[in-house]
Structures are given as structure tokens and as C-alpha cells.
Chain A
Amino acid sequence: VSVDLSAELGPLRLANPVVTASGCFGSGREIDRFFDISRLGAVVVKSVTVEPREGLPTPRMAETANGMLNAIGLQNPGIDRWLATELPWLRERGVPVIVSIAGKTVDDYRRLAERLRDEPGLLAIEANISCPNVEDRNIVFACRERSTHDALSQVTALSRVPVFAKLTPDVTDITAIARVARDAGAAGVSVINTLLGMAIDVRTRRPKLAAVTGGLSGPAIKPVAVRAVHQIARALPGLPIIGMGGVRSVEDVVEFLMAGASAVAVGTATFANPLAAIELVEGLPGWMADHGYTSVAELRGARSLPAPAVR
């Protein structure tokens, strides 16, 4: 049985629905040592900022039950150097690239969108408006409708490629933020970013992260992510969703598609296995054939889902 793995992500058509989660794949070079990364549906690169950033002090990582906390603080070479060193390599390798951008201010998003405007070979922009590891929680744009609109509209006004808004689950109603993102011109949303978390070493009585708090990722957060995707898919039918959060197995990919995602991102699983993303691309057709599916489109949405009790 031949299986059609291609995925419609709004205006984009991907070779398969498996993409990488920003911040878990660098810009691809390191993982390309293990497999040909151009075989993925898309590579969403680590967030790039206007200026280079050195990030937060160490320790930056703590493993937790079925998950991990990280507080990197957006360490990256800055947009100028990223465009000079990373994008040409990705283009040359024929990798479908979604560039993730992050800003401290609304104006940062404008400047980043402007810098990317005339760059050929980009599939889309992901506006990371939800990084939890910033000096000031007040600048997590995606925590508020107003700031979501202000940051995103800068990008959508300038971009020639589709813009996806990366949202945080740390809000009362993620569908309200998703609606604002759509109305600000976003082609779709990427859900979810990490949840803000914390762990304390009880022997030393110190927080396990130098930054005290950090983003929780891994299988521990998957039910939260599936819920968020499902809520947005029901509230805003037709808005393309890149679903992510704890994806590790082919069944996880299928679950996110059934929740309403059009593409599924692999994040922390790559830390545990550098081949995680490509193993899902390779494993998906067999699972689909075994279960009587011939296309990714058939996997989208779940059967007879009752309306969520609480919205």
C-alpha cells in the first residue's frame, strides 16, 4: 500500500508532517552529521534575535520526571551572522527552512522581519513570542492579547512568507491568543512552547537552574500540548497548527494530527536521540499502512469528539 506522506500546512506543502521544534535542533548542522536533514518536512531553527546573545548562566538544564527544564536565554549569533553563516548552508543543502525569530521589543520583531524580507529560500517565519527564559516575564508577548497583536502585526506586515505564531500554554485561554494572532495576519500557530517550571535541589537548598525558573519540555507536557492543539482547532477551524510538546513516537505524531495539527514538531526527543525526527518520518508510513490510512490528510481530526467541558 502506498502512503501519501505530504502535509498541507496552510499555504505550504511539506514532504511530510514531521518538522523540528525551535531550540532543539540548532540550525541543523550538528544533526546533519547523523542523517540528511533535508528529508524532514521542515527545519525550524533556533530562535534568532537582532543582536547576538550569550544567554543565561549555567546550570541551564535539569532533568525532571519524564521531562526537562531548560533556561538558555536565547543564546544565538544574532540575525546578521546567522544570515551570513547558517542560511546559505541550509539553502545549499536544500533544507525547507522555517526561521524562528525572537525579540525583546515590538521594534525587534519589525527589524527582524525587515532583515528577512528579501532573503530567498525561506519557507516561513515562526515568530517566537513566548520564550519563557527572558529577564522580564512582562515581555512574554504571547501572555497578553495586546502584545501578541503588536509583535505579530510587525512581522506579518513586512513578511513575504507565511508567519506562524509560537504560543505559550501558560495563559488562561490559549484560543483567545490564537485568535488575536490570526487576526494580526498569522498564517498559523505553533503550539506549544515550554511551560514555565522550577525545581529545587533539596540537598543544597538551591534551585537547580541558575536562572531559577525555566521551560519544561518532554513527554511530561504532551497532554497539555494535545489539549491546546485541540482547543485551537475547535475554536478556530481552518487555522493551520504546528503541534508539539513531548513528541517521541509515531503514535505521538498521529495523536497531534488527530487533535487538529497539520504538522508535528519534534523537540526534546532529539536530545535523547539525535535521529528521533527522521525515525518518525521513516516509521509513519508503516503505522499508517497497518491502520488503513493512505494519506496524512486522513489522520487530521478526531472522531466524534465531544465539545470540551471547559474552554
Chain B
Amino acid sequence: VTPATSPEAPREPLRVDGEVRSVRRRGPYVALTLQAPAVAERCLPGQFVSVGVAAVATLLRRPFSIAAAEPAGGGVEVVFDVVGPGTAWLAERRPGEPLDLVGPLGRPFPAPPAGVGCVLVGGGYGAAPLLYLARALADGRRPVALVMGAASAARLLDPDAAERALPGGVVLTTEDGSRGRSGRVTDVLDALLDDTEAGVLYACGPMAMLAAVARRAHTRALRCHVAVEEAMACGVGVCMTCVVPVRGPEGVRNRRACVDGPVFDGADVAWDALGTALSAPPTGALRELRP
């Protein structure tokens, strides 16, 4: 397993009054770009932001993976699916409107060792943060490939834009065969890993997909970083709702996706324990858990 390094430590999050720059369709999803320079200059791939929404009777912020950040231009982009009143409200914003933003939040994807090839796997709009990562990794000295998978062509995140961002490096899969290879992202993974001789995998998407990718990485003794998604109320580490079972020195423990993640080592996530009750930790010999 190749060790990963994180050259840049994440900086503390801010709460800022951002301004809507654009709201655009990206395939079946919505891409929202906010002008928020203080946040934009702090963002790293894998981190997320949470956006205040003012839809009728909603209360909580909406957390989204960062799809792009322009430290120079001050823009922060997120991509989301309209699934409820909060995202519907966001999809209706107009340029110039104010929007409350907190971020960047969470731990970013660790950087791969120099020169090591990377395969990135995104399910549905989970491909958005991986395109952000791909742009950061593509320095011309390492191979970078992106697999984008969805149930059908209609659920793929703008494959043409991905192909422009990563020419020749994008592989598409759809479960119904309506575009790209027929099947799931894991069906193309082995061949791609052989071709690219990749040393590190990165993935974002539904939990079942992340589990399958992490298992494949484990079989091949490859390091795999996954960005998880879990229902989240605060996004800043205090509500304890977004926990994921993760293996550590004290066995499997519930860790917060918002501050301990959202990026975890795929080998550490206890995929079989998702959504189950963990047994209480051992009493007595308690060791320090926090780094």
C-alpha cells in the first residue's frame, strides 16, 4: 500500500455572506456558483460547504461537496440533485442574490505520492468533487483517469464537460447501457487499474458504490480514499448525526463525517456495520482516540 501524504493542512472554516454568481443545469443536476472569496481561497478537493436555505418551513443548512473553487476569482461551485424543498429553493436562485455559506468543512482528499497514477470513481453527481480533484492532480506527470457511473445516461453528470477537463481520461458506465460501458463502475475498474498502473483510488458516490470500490482496492492492495455522504444537521461537528463506523485503535467506532471525514480511508470504514448499532467500547483500559 502506497502511503499518502497531505501537504496542505485544511484551514478553519468561515461563515460568510456569499453572492450567487450562476445557477446552471449540469445534465440532470444543478451547478451553483457562489462568489465567496474568503472561502474559495481555503478550499481543498474533498471538502464541503454548507449553504443556508430559506425555503418554507426548512431549518437546516444543506451540505454539498465542493465541485470547484477559484482562489483567484473567488468562486465556489457545488453540484446537487433537486431532491426536496431546500435544493428546489437553491435551484431557483438568481445571480446577485445573497447566500449564507459556511466552509470549507471537513478533511480533504490526501494527496497521492508524487508521480503515482490515480483512478477517480464518481457515482452520479458524486463525480463533481472528483473533477475538482482531477484538475488539482493533473499536473502532466501522473496518469489520472475518471470513471463516472450512473443508472442511465440521463443520470450522468455532464460527461462531455468531464471529457473536456480530462481529455482521453474519462470512462463512462451506465447500468442500463444507455451510454458508455454497460454495468457498474466496478466492472471497468480492474482493466483501468491495469492500464494506468494506478497507486491510489479516490471515490465519491452512494455508500454501496463506495463499499464496492473499497473492496476492489483492498483486493489489489491499493490505497483508497472515499468521501462519504450521511444525513447531517450541523456540518461542523456538534450534532453527532452524520456518523460512520470506522476502524481505529479501539475497534470500530462512530466517527463524524463532517469533521473526522467526509474523506476516510476505504480500508478503515466498517462497511458491513453501516446503519447498525455498534457495541459499546471496552471499559477499563481506555486509550486516547483523538489524534
User: How far is it, in angstroms, between the C-alpha of A52 and the C-alpha of B102 when the chains are bound?
Assistant: 31
User: How far is it, in angstroms, between the C-alpha of A283 and the C-alpha of B57 when the chains are bound?
Assistant: 24
Complex interface: chain A residues within 8 A of B275 (CB): 57-59, 210
Tell me whether A75 and B243 are in contact (CB under 8 A). Answer: yes
Known: A52-B281, A56-B277, A63-B58. A270 touches B230 (CB 8 A): no
Q: Mark B233-245, 1 if CB is under 8 A from A, else 0.
A: 1101111111110
Known: A81-B286, A274-B102. A58 touches B240 (CB 8 A): no
Q: In the complex, how many residue pairs between chain A and chain B have their CB atoms under 8 Å apart?
A: 122
Tell me whether A58 and B281 are in contact (CB under 8 A). Answer: no
Say whether B279 faces chain A, with CB atoms less than 8 Å apart.
yes
Known: A65-B57, A273-B52. A78 touches B241 (CB 8 A): no
Number of interface residues of A (CB under 8 A): 45
For window 192-237 of B, CB contacts with A under 8 Å fall at 230-234, 236-237
Tell me whether A54 and B254 are in contact (CB under 8 A). Answer: yes
For window 223-277 of B, CB contacts with A under 8 Å fall at 230-234, 236-244, 253-254, 259, 274-277
Question: By CB atoms of chain A within 10 A, which of B12, B57, B290 has the most?
Answer: B57
**Segment with Cβ contacts to B, from A8-16, A26-34, A137-145:** A26-34
For window 1-56 of A, CB contacts with B under 8 Å fall at 23-26, 29-31, 33-34, 46, 51-56
Which secondary structure characterizes the binding site on chain B? Answer: loop
Known: A55-B254, A274-B15. A61 touches B232 (CB 8 A): yes
User: How far is it, in angstroms, between the C-alpha of A270 and the C-alpha of B280 when the chains are bound?
Assistant: 28
Tell me whether A30 and B237 are in contact (CB under 8 A). Answer: yes
Complex interface: chain B residues within 8 A of A67 (CB): 59
6 residue pairs of the A-B complex, CB under 8 angstroms, read A26-B237, A46-B238, A61-B242, A63-B233, A68-B59, A70-B239
What is A's interface to B at a CB cutoff of 8 Å? 23-26, 29-31, 33-34, 46, 51-63, 65-68, 70, 72, 75, 77-78, 80-81, 85, 210, 218-219, 268, 270-275
